[in-house]
Structure 1
């Protein structure tokens, strides 16, 4: 197996394993990784439009942002409010229960990140991964998200 092929499959395997672990932890609080990502985006960036949330989503669930947000609205975690600047548009905001779930998500992620922090060569790996995703849709979503 070529090194490039090995790297490709290692990236895929690491992503899948990380997502499995995150999904299992989030299941305990009734969320999927995709739902938790929307809650984190709203928690980090405040009220946004569906388009604004969609531009920051990194998850690849095959679910469009509108459907994902609709499930969160139905669950009582997100609410739609008229945009003060344009009453025809809606802004998404966390409800009180949504803020609680966002904080629980943050704690779950922090525990996961503490494990990742123990791995050697983190800064070099992050720089390499940034090169891989730079200029690509998921890389651009991440760039918008972290500023």
Structure 2
């Protein structure tokens, strides 16, 4: 197997296993990983416009997040308001229930990050990140991730 092929399948396997763990942890809360990403972005950045949220989403990069937002609004987790300065824009913010759930999601994420930190112990993670960014930066998911990194 070529190294590139090995990397491709190792990354795919890691992504699938991480997503499987996240789905299992989120299931009791009744939300999906994509919905969890919306909640955490709003918790971290406060009120965002629909387009601003869309620019930061890695789970649905390059697409309109309207349907995803509709689901979290219908669940009572996110409030949608018309922008007072420009009625063409929507402003999104967490409801109290959305804030509570976003905090629970942060705890789940911390558990996953601790497992990843343990797996990376002693490894050159900067080199791994450089490789991954070389591949994803010009692509929609990479652009969304880089916008998020610029805000931190």
TM-score range, shorter chain: over 0.9
Secondary structure at 1:132's aligned position in 2? helix
Secondary structure at 2:89's aligned position in 1? strand
Other-structure match for 2:139:
136
Measure how far apart 1:10 and its partner are: 0.8
Measure how far apart 1:56 and its partner are: 0.9
Q: Distance in 1 between matches of 2:51 and 2:62?
A: 16
Q: Which runs of 4+ in 1 moved over 2 A?
A: 60-64
Measure how far apart 1:88 and its partner are: 3.3
CA separation of 1:75 and 1:62: change in aligned 2, threshold 3 A: farther
Q: Distance in 2 between matches of 1:126 and 1:118?
A: 16
Q: Distance in 2 between matches of 1:124 and 1:30?
A: 37
When the two structures are aligned, how many residues end up with a matched partner?
147
Measure how far apart 1:134 and its partner are: 1.3
Are 2:10 and 1:10 aligned? Answer: yes
So what's the TM-score if we normalise by structure 2?
A: 0.90
Measure how far apart 1:48 and its partner are: 1.2
Deviates more, 1:111-120 or 1:123-132: 123-132
Other-structure match for 2:128:
125
C-alpha RMSD over aligned residues? 1.8
Q: Distance in 2 between matches of 1:88 and 1:134?
A: 31
Unaligned ranges ≥5, structure 2 = none
